Amino acid sequence: MPELPEVETVRRGLTPAMEGAVIARATVNRPDLRWPFPDHMAERLTGQRVERLRRRSKYILADLSSGETLLIHLGMSGRMLVSGDPLGQFVHDHPAAEKHDHVVLDMANGARITFNDPRRFGAMDLMPTGSEGTHKLIAHLGPEPLGNTFSEAYLAAALQGRNTPIKAALLDQKIVAGLGNIYVCEALYRGRISPARLCRRIAAPRITALVPIIRDVLAEAIAAGGSSLRDFRQADGELGYFQHNFDVYGRESAPCRTPGCDQSIRRIVQSGRSSFYCPQCQR
């Protein structure tokens, strides 16, 4: 599933083609994805100007001139692809329609935004602009890891005394929004903390040190266009390339990259997810 860097990369790629532009025609080719689409979604989108594109956690939010906001979640395999952008940001002509092109937005500026999702775990919804704080998918999310409210003091307090592994705590979207398996593994490696160590057994300075580390990992991933492992593509159809910079994720049995360390990366399963770490560097 795309994590925060992938979703932010897509948002940034969509912005030149969508922000400030009018949706000349919206086409909805099926009644649902993971959940049913809102009633009359095509009619409610057609003719509206996209005032602003935002991101909350792993969701893209498009504020419309109608006073509604389009919520977009990419799910496991969803892609938002741009073609025909007259601003010259994209070089692709409009491709032939594909089987899994579920929602198509033809913009008045000549761009076309296609939501393609083979597995149909993605989602779209419409809500009044400014009401996302009460939306069922967003209401209980924790602070953004790149925002000011995600501070050293906040994280230390949120994890204090917890009898859960640090990996599980950082994946808890109520504690911090947008982090997923890849970037938690990478951040814990840089922080030299085992993914299996219980929060209550980690000294406060080690917890607080994770805040700038998490921000650095996410910023580097965004700069690299995210990580393409299976389905992820940027809005122009190109692959991200942060996967070439992984220190631990997906590197089971490969040598640790810490100078002087003679151990290999190990994989364990936590709550059904693979965790990758160095048993010597991470304690």
2 is annotated as an active-site residue: yes
Note whether 68 and 26 are within 8 A (CB).
no
The residue annotated as part of the active site, out of 11, 58, 167, 190, is 58
Q: What are phi and psi of 271, to 5 degrees?
A: 50, 40
Annotation marks residue 136 as catalytic: no
Strand partners, 267: 276
Q: Is 49 exposed, middle or buried (0-12, 13-18, 19+ CB in 10 A)?
A: middle
Distance CA 226, CA 55 (A): 15
> Helix/strand/coil (H, E, C) string of 188-225?
HHHHCCCCCCEHHHCCHHHHHHHHHHHHHHHHHHHHCC
From 2, 145, 165, 195, the catalytic residue? 2
CA distances from 156 to 168, 204, 206, 208, 212 (A): 15, 6, 9, 6, 13
Task: Show the tokens assigned to 251.
Answer: 């590197």
Whether 273 sits among the annotated catalytic residues: the reply is yes
CB 119 within 8 A of CB 76: yes
CA distance 189 to 217: 11
The residues pairing with 113 across neighbouring beta strands, listed in sequence order, are: 82, 105
Q: Which of 197, 215, 257, 273 does the annotation list as catalytic? A: 273
Amino acid at 54: R
Supply the residues annotated as catalytic.
2-3, 58, 273
